[in-house]
Amino acid sequence: MRRRRHLAGDGDRLLSRRSAPIVFLPTIMPLVGLSPALAPLLGSWLLAHFDWQAIFATLFIITLVLMLPALRLKPAHHKHAASEEKLTFWRLLRSQDYRGNVLIYAACSASFFAWLTGSPFILHEMGYSPTVIGLSYVPQTIAFLIGGYGCRAALQKWQGSQLLPWLLVVFGVSVIATWAVGLMENASLTALLIPFCVMAIANGAIYPIVVAQALKPFPQATGRAAALQNTLQLGLCFLASLAVSTLIATPLLTTTSVMLVTVLLAAIGYIMQRAARVDECTAKRSTSHA
């Protein structure tokens, strides 16, 4: 999963050129969601046929395979090296629009990572085998793909800024519903997966919108902006996973509670980027009147 995030960051840097985020990210980013289904399925198959060491051997082989194409890459010639040096990480963080979009992206990802950390323990407590646990990731991955490609179709008719508040409402309601199911005694796997799959649909649609909005103001330095974005996102995902694993004695309640916190973080992120857009519109109107 961490490797998948780093590859997604490379994709951001390659595709995020002026209008490219709006065009390409809704197409590329849903494919990133395949790994949460494929990885547990492969892991359960390896455990069924080999010892646990085979998982790490497989990860090492996959790493080598992914490194081979990188050896053939030629050094890029940066035409805007001077302007890119001026865009420091501190300047990026001072941008309220950038901070808000990155916080939304990180919060939605952290909610997903919290589930990835806690769900094996949750389903093990329910009595499910590793194979069933692996298969449980298939519906949410399909839902993520539906959300991503549904977003691509919706962007043909509406702007991302119009879709985002509604998608965040769906995200928040679905996470709250998942948390509510976690409070029930003898909660079933189906009852948990239904709201979680709705959250996956929302996430699949939210990701390309907020990533594109975060990188769009910095066409001269998308590599630096994407690097900071993915660092912050991975940091929050790590904290969410750490919180779940620290309090894993109550896996269901802990996991859903951490997911609930990410709703608040996503709301703060939306308020931040919304305020930045309002300030930008006000400044433009003042300039036009002057």
What's the N-to-C CA distance of the chain in angstroms?
51
E-strand ranges in the chain read: none
Q: Which amino acid is at 252?
A: L
Q: Cα 131 vs. chain centroid, distance in angstroms?
A: 25
Over the stretch 185-204, which tens digit does the pLDDT of each residue have? 888 999 999 999 999 999 99
H helix and E strand count, the chain: 13, 0
Over the stretch 161-171, which tens digit does the pLDDT of each residue have? 889 999 999 99
Q: Which amino acid is at 220?
A: Q
Mean pLDDT of the chain, nearest integer: 83
- Comparison of pLDDT for 264 and 31, the residue scoring more: 264
Pair of tokens at residue 124: 């093990």
Residue 132 burial (C-beta neighbours within 10 Å; 0-12, 13-18, 19+): middle
d(CA 66, CA 57): 14
Identify the band that residue 26 occupies on the pLDDT scale cut at 50, 70 and 90.
Answer: low
Q: Is the CB of residue 1 less than 8 Å from the CB of residue 110? A: no
Residue 77: Cβ within 10 Å count: 6
- Residue 36 above 90 pLDDT? no
Three-state DSSP at 200 gives helix
Q: Which amino acid is at 154?
A: A
Identify the band that residue 241 occupies on the pLDDT scale cut at 50, 70 and 90.
Answer: very high
What letters, b where the CB count within 10 A reaches 16 and e where it falls short, cover 38-48?
ebbbbbbebbe
d(CA 125, CA 63): 32
Provide the CATH number for the domain formed by 2-64+89-285 in this structure.
1.20.1250.20
